[in-house]
Amino acid sequence: MLITFSQAISLLRSGQVIAVPTETVYGLAACLDQPQAIEHIFTLKGRPKKNPLIIHLADWKDLSQFVTQYPPNFQALAQTFWPGAFTCILPVNSNVPSIARAALPTAGFRVPDLPLTRHLIKETGPLVMPSANLSGRPSATFPKHVEEDFGLEFPVLEGGTCSKGVESTILFYQEPEWVILRLGAVPPEAFKPILGYEPRVIQKSQENQENQPLCPGQLFRHYAPRARLILGDHPLLADATFVLGFKERPYPRGKRIILLGSLLEPEEVAKNLYQALRQLDQEGANQAWVDMDFPRHGLWQTIAERLIRAGETN
Ligand code: TXA
Ligand code: MG
């Protein structure tokens, strides 16, 4: 159910959870100072309590009330990438409620690039926002995706479609360097002019999962439609009826082709990605062949990672 800006403010202030647009994906929002609402987010999403949330600010200067220490180059990163699809993990004090950060000594912060979202946060104070999808499902990039997962009555602040379409890129300072904990809408090479190097991407297999994982969220199943995905990198199609592919490519006749976009425009593909995965479910697909024959630099790396995660069966 679409709600107005003033309804969004009063619902959030009264301790309710609502969906809020950002330039990356829709978020399920609660006020940082409403622990019961934060608790409710975990229940609604079916999200493990061990998976911490990102805190969204209207202005990065507001970090000072939470953060105990700033790593090298932090200020340059903040000035360059905020507002934007960059999330920074920083050491924090007890002003960040334990439930929001899964009892970790750090928390993730982001200043979203959508003016509507920042205006809202100015009225409500900092908001925690995981993506507005049931845990494990593709993220939501339209209000109707939120309604698919949480029902028609669920309050959604209308913000149209998300311009980026994939989540923020998460960075963490692991002495002596910044590393990427989650690929996202800002490609790894964008950080090079600021840091002097391209941050490494920490793969979930490189993490010691027994001890504290660096990015708990990466351990859980993600972005998956109900359909089984067959990831192919040459056009030898399996017997799947459905194909996720690109508009320049010819695919065999008789297949139901769901277009991700153009091979020349990774931004467009990122923007369409979750809609395409959700479309498979809308059409009742049991399995789909995914054309993985595309580049692996820049944003394509994020697109490949999301499709691979979406195809995991465990
Ligand atoms: O673009 C985005 O980041 C969206 C929009 C709504 O802002 N939000 C989003 O939130 O993707 P979520 O909850 O779906 O993903 C947050 C990720 C999880 O993988 C979580 O483990 C990680 O951030 N995270 C949060 N706090 C962390 C921390 N203190 N240390 C390591 N990872 C953290
Ligand atoms: Mg998510």
Nearest atom in ligand 1 to 110's CA: 7
Output the pTM of the full model: 0.96
Which amino acid is present at 81? F
Q: Is 167 in the pocket of ligand 1 (CB under 6 A)?
A: yes
Alpha-carbon 147 to chain mean position: 18
| Centre of ligand 2 from the C-alpha of residue 137, in Å | 8
Instruction: Please confirm whether the linkage preceding 52 is cis (ω < 30° from 0).
Output: no
Pairing of strands 200-201, 177-182: parallel
Which ligand has an atom closest to residue 136 CA? 2
Q: Which ligand is nearest to the CA of 306?
A: 2
How many residues are present in the chain? Answer: 314
From 131, 141, 306, the mutation candidate for ligand 1 (largest count of ligand atoms within 8 A of CB) is: 131
Residue of 24, 45, 54 with the most ligand 1 atoms within 8 Å of its CB, for mutation: 54
Edge-first strand listing for the sheet containing 200-201: 2-3, 156-157, 18-20, 27-31, 127-128, 54-56, 106-110, 86-91, 169-174, 177-182, 200-201
Nearest CA to ligand 1 atom 28: 107
Of the candidates 62, 7, 59, the one whose C-alpha atom is nearest the C-alpha of residue 29 is 7
Taking a C-beta distance cutoff of 8 angstroms, is the pair 140, 51 a contact?
no
CB of 54 closer than 6 angstroms to any ligand 1 atom: yes
Distance of CA 162 from the midpoint of ligand 1 (Å): 17
- Structure tokens that stand for 273 in this block: 């990605």
Mind listing the pLDDT tens digit of every residue in the chain (314 residues)?
Answer: 999 999 999 999 999 999 999 999 999 999 999 999 999 999 999 999 999 999 999 999 999 999 999 999 999 999 999 999 999 999 999 999 999 999 999 999 999 999 999 999 999 999 999 999 999 999 999 999 999 999 999 999 999 999 999 999 999 999 999 999 999 999 999 999 999 999 999 976 555 545 567 877 777 778 889 999 999 876 666 678 999 999 999 998 899 999 999 999 999 999 999 999 999 999 999 999 999 999 999 999 999 999 999 998 75
Please tell me the residue having the least CA distance from ligand 1 atom 30: 215
What tokens were used for 282?
């809308």
Whether the CB of 108 sits within 6 Å of ligand 1: yes
